[in-house]
């Protein structure tokens, strides 16, 4: 190969590299614009940005069907959006469980009917779940939380990030309504039914399910912005 041919190849390589460097910020900016438009469309389909931004908490009652015993349980999740805390109360035949995650005041009612402190490692895992909780994350997007950013994945999913870490991804239908979602690095995720449970103008899915159907939950009660009294989270006296 002649020196002139090598020189031309070298020049083409440099030009390609410069072009890639110059266009990368443009591509990133376009992705951000597309993602914001997708997020706006989603919020509009779910009741509007203002409605979601106004949320302070959710209280959700659902029947959960599972492949393992107990196959049917009823769970009430009281989720505080203003403070990092929540309470989950689960009942079934011969079962009554309560789990409160509230920092150093976390506790649970176990299957033996005993009140005990929640182990530190369990608190950590529960707070990771809280950190990416779907409805709380939608509220934060609607409220334009400055610590969040949105992007569009290669497969068209809307992705929500906090400090560079993906919290939530959502697949949206033509209306902008989510039909699948997942958290963090989980690319399998869950499915959601139509968002046709409406309370105070806010849309909520009537059911959610694991992809393989071994866990399913149907909404039976839904309330927003209730007074979450301290007694709801307080640990009962030792038994």
Number of structural domains in the chain: 1
Residue 239 has pLDDT above 80, yes or no: no
What pLDDT score was predicted for residue 154? 87
Residue with tokens 């640990």: 235
Which residues, 6+ apart, have CB-to-CB distance to 216 below 8 Å? Answer: 64, 65, 66, 207, 208, 209, 210
Domain range for 217: 41-232
Per-residue pLDDT tens for 207-225? 999 999 999 999 999 999 9
Q: Is the pTM of this model over 0.75?
A: yes
Chain centroid, CA 160 distance in Å: 9
Mean pLDDT confidence for 45-53: 98
The domain that contains 153 carries what CATH number?
Answer: 2.50.20
Per-residue pLDDT tens for 78-124? 999 999 999 999 999 999 999 999 999 999 999 999 999 999 999 99
Mean pLDDT confidence for 17-33: 49
Task: Report if residue 157 sits inside a domain.
Answer: yes
What pLDDT score was predicted for residue 27? 41
Q: What b-and-e string marks burial along 185-218, b requiring 16 or more CB atoms within 10 Å of the CB?
A: eeeebbbbbebebebeebbbbebbbeeeeeebbe
Q: Whole-number mean pLDDT of the chain?
A: 91
Task: Report if residue 24 sits inside a domain.
Answer: no
Task: Report if residue 83 sits inside a domain.
Answer: yes
Residues 65, 4: Cα–Cα separation, whole Å? 72
Residues 62, 50: Cα–Cα separation, whole Å? 26
Task: Report if residue 103 sits inside a domain.
Answer: yes
Residue 140 has pLDDT above 60, yes or no: yes
Residue with tokens 């992809």: 211
What pLDDT score was predicted for residue 20? 43
Give the DSSP H or E segment for 7: helix 3-45
Other CB atoms within 10 A of residue 126 CB: 17
Q: For residue 8, what pLDDT band results from cuts at 50, 70 and 90?
A: low
């Amino acid at each position: 190969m002649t020196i002139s041919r090598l020189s031309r190849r070298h020049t083409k390589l440099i030009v390609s590299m410069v072009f890639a460097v110059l266009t990368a910020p443009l591509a990133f900016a376009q992705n951000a614009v597309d993602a914001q438009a997708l997020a706006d469309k989603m919020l509009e389909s779910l009741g509007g940005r203002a409605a979601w931004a106004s949320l302070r908490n959710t209280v959700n009652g659902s029947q959960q069907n599972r492949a393992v015993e107990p196959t049917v349980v009823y769970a009430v999740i009281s989720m505080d959006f203003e403070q990092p805390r929540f309470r989950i109360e689960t009942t079934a035949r011969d079962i009554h469980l309560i789990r409160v995650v509230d920092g150093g005041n976390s506790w649970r009612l176990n299957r033996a009917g005993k009140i005990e402190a929640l182990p530190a490692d369990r608190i950590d895992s529960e707070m990771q779940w809280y950190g990416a909780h779907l409805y709380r994350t939608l509220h934060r997007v609607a409220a334009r939380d400055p610590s969040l950013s949105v992007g569009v994945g290669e497969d068209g999913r809307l992705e929500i990030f906090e400090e560079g870490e993906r919290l939530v991804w959502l697949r949206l239908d033509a209306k902008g309504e989510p039909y699948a979602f997942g958290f963090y690095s989980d690319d399998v995720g869950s499915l959601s039914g139509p968002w046709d449970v409406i309370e105070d103008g806010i849309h909520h899915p009537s059911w959610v399910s694991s992809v393989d159907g071994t866990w399913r939950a149907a909404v039976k009660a839904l309330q927003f912005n209730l007074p979450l009294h301290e007694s709801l989270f307080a640990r009962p006296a030792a038994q």
